[in-house]
Amino acid sequence: MAQTQVDRILQTVREAQRAYAGYSQEQVDRILDAMNEASVPLADQWARLAVEETGFGRVEDKVTKNLFASRDVYRYIRPMQTVGFIEVDAASAIYEVAQPMGIVAAIVPSTNPTSTAIYKTMVSLKARNGVVHSPHPAARRCIAAVVNTLHDAAVKAGAPRGIVGVLEEPTIEDTQALMAHRETNVILATGGMGLVRAAYASGKPAYGVGPGNVPAFIERTATVDKAVRDVIAGKSFDWGTICASEQSVIVDEPVADEARRLFGDHGGYFADDKEKALLEAAMVSPDGHVNPKIVGKSPQAIASLAGFSVPASTRVLLVKMEGVGRDHPLSMEKLSPVLCWYVEDGWEDGCKRCIEILRYGGLGHTLSVHTRDLEVVRQFALHKPAFRIIVNSPSTHGAIGYTTNLPPSMTLGCGALGNNITSDNITPLHLIDRKRIAMETRPLEGETNDPLPPLVSQKDRVASAAKAFVEDRMSRKDVSARTGRAVSAVPAAGGDLPVDFVSEQDVRKAMQEGRKVLIHSGTLLTPLARELGEEHQIFERR
């Protein structure tokens, strides 16, 4: 049988990944640094390529997404331990060792092509996997530009040649073959429900993400002006192409008039009944699917396609709605700056409407609530069928971890409610397998053997990671140019200047001494340090 494009690429990546699996944490992180350094200066160029090729979104917002994937994701995953002993519980005699999954099949959409390619490459290689990208055909050139640049940067930093691959001429058949191929170990799929179902049906482990029909509820105690600005910012960002963007706004009746006025002040345009009918005809096909011609287009372009015009200042089109479902076609996920408008009296009725919307194509994804009432937040958290409840922030930016402390990610799981395997924001820790070493603690009979000393202590593991981090940073002459600050000689917290690295030990020491830990936007925190420091409000940003 003749060797196919998929066979050839997977064979190359497999050979590279076998070598890469033996790399140390220091080698892996040096490669991650190199990809970060290569991608940041090209954020604007790649954004323009994406808009030119796909016709979706706005260049300035795609620049932000590219920088988010190349900087924010990098800063979050850089301190992660993905090699060797990653979890140590000496008291329970349980140890966890990271093992790469192998080859990641990365399915990349046309709506967020370059940012998703950056993100999936970084998280895959951080976990010591190889990765093969299957681009949406409408975005193959801009995705290939990203993948080839990151591959070259990784190889220059010491990665095996061929560790990152891309299908240059992708087809549906090639994507299906990639997902089902014997050399593929795990699938990271971003796309429509048909693609996600195909990923899960491939017989391979898969992280597929469902649609995001996201409701945003503005409750009567909210700071209404901020809530309105947040909803518009989220919905208009890259013209609605992120799956976590708001699809409907539900406004509490006592603040509805104020909210409507503020939406108008900040760039919202309320369609009348005739314009609503024109939008329904232009945006949704008779079989209930979104017209691809309106995806990622401006409000002006969508209105023109529908047969009317809106002011140049318009950022979002709003359509008054009475219900949810097939009889109300615009109540679905629209991937465009068109927002449904509902008014409900009280948070209980607002809650019911949010659940209706989530059940119509958004179960498990994201919901945002704008309120000053903690009981409302508590009730939404306990009872709403969404796994990201974003409070007082744009859902678009909050769900991906841009305006919140959720893990920065371009792949957002929807859990079992959305037919997904996880409800997490996907990170490198989802792309490793964990070996568990368990020492006997309760012998079946008689006395156990003399206990062995700990394989490795948590203290030694953190100290080793911190030492390697600082040595690597100190050896790189371009650190000051990249961060704007010199790297500390030791990873210690405290002092008058912000530090560049913080471990759990640093946080605990600061807590004992009753002081803050000064950090800056580029400070790298170990996951345990981040969790403990935020819990006890130890960090002070400079």
Write the DSSP assignment of 96-163 as a string of letters.
EEEEE--EEEEEE-SSSHHHHHHHHHHHHHHTT-EEEEEE-GGGHHHHHHHHHHHHHHHHHTTPPTTS
pLDDT above 90 for 37: yes
The answer as to whether 201 is a domain residue is yes
Q: Judge if 274 and 160 occupy the same domain.
A: no
Q: What is the pLDDT of residue 197?
A: 84
Q: What is the pLDDT of residue 476?
A: 41
Least confident of 328-337, 476-485, 488-497, 531-540: 476-485
- Residue 399 CB: number of other CB atoms within 10 A? 31
The answer as to whether 161 is a domain residue is yes
Provide the CB-side half-sphere exposure for 527 (13 A, CA). 13
Q: Judge if 187 and 43 occupy the same domain.
A: yes
The answer as to whether 434 is a domain residue is no
Domain boundary among the residues 208, 231, 259 is at 208
Q: Judge if 140 and 37 occupy the same domain.
A: yes
The answer as to whether 271 is a domain residue is yes
Q: Judge if 226 and 262 occupy the same domain.
A: yes
Q: Judge if 21 and 136 occupy the same domain.
A: yes
Number of domains in the chain: 3
Q: Judge if 298 and 256 occupy the same domain.
A: yes
Least confident of 56-70, 144-158, 336-350, 490-504: 490-504
Q: What is the pLDDT of residue 537?
A: 87
Q: Judge if 228 and 178 occupy the same domain.
A: no
pLDDT above 80 for 447: no
The residues, ordered by sequence, that sit 6+ positions from 201 with a Cβ below 8 Å of its Cβ are none
Coil/strand/helix, residue 339? strand
Q: Judge if 188 and 221 occupy the same domain.
A: no
Domain boundary among the residues 188, 208, 228 is at 208
Least confident of 353-362, 463-472, 529-538: 463-472
Q: What is the pLDDT of residue 488?
A: 37
Q: Which domain holds residue 194?
A: 5-208
The answer as to whether 410 is a domain residue is no
In one-letter notation, the amino acid at residue 314 is T
**Structure token pair of residue 230:** 């947040």
Q: What's the whole-number mean pLDDT along residues 67-90?
A: 93
Q: Which of 171, 185, 180, 184 is nearest to 199 (CA)?
A: 180
Phi-psi region of 457 (alpha: psi -120 to 50; beta: other; left: phi over 0): beta
Q: What is the pLDDT of residue 209?
A: 79
Q: What is the pLDDT of residue 344?
A: 98
pLDDT tens, 501-524? Answer: 787 778 888 888 889 999 886 677
Residue 339: give its domain's CATH number. Answer: 3.40.309.10
pLDDT above 50 for 460: yes
Give the integer Cα–Cα distance in Å for 195 and 180: 13
Q: Judge if 32 and 179 occupy the same domain.
A: yes
The answer as to whether 425 is a domain residue is no
Helix (H) or strand (E) holding 370: strand 364-370
Q: What are phi and psi of 362, to 5 degrees?
A: -140, 15
Domain boundary among the residues 208, 230, 246 is at 208
Q: What's the whole-number mean pLDDT along residues 18-43?
A: 97
pLDDT above 90 for 394: yes
pTM of the complete model? 0.84
Q: Judge if 180 and 315 occupy the same domain.
A: no
Q: Helices 43-54 and 140-156 sit at what angle, rounded to 10 degrees? A: 150
Q: What is the pLDDT of residue 486?
A: 36
Q: What is the pLDDT of residue 528?
A: 72
Q: Judge if 345 and 480 occupy the same domain.
A: no
Q: What's the whole-number mean pLDDT along residues 534-538?
A: 85
Q: What's the whole-number mean pLDDT along residues 49-64?
A: 97
Q: What is the pLDDT of residue 527?
A: 63
Q: What's the whole-number mean pLDDT along residues 236-263?
A: 97
Q: What is the pLDDT of residue 35?
A: 97
Catalytic residue numbers, as ranges: 243
Least confident of 65-74, 203-212, 338-347, 426-435: 203-212
Residue 50: give its domain's CATH number. Answer: 3.40.605.10
The answer as to whether 412 is a domain residue is no
Q: Judge if 270 and 174 occupy the same domain.
A: no
Q: What is the pLDDT of residue 495?
A: 46
pLDDT tens, 136-173? Answer: 999 999 999 999 999 999 999 999 999 999 999 999 99
The answer as to whether 418 is a domain residue is no
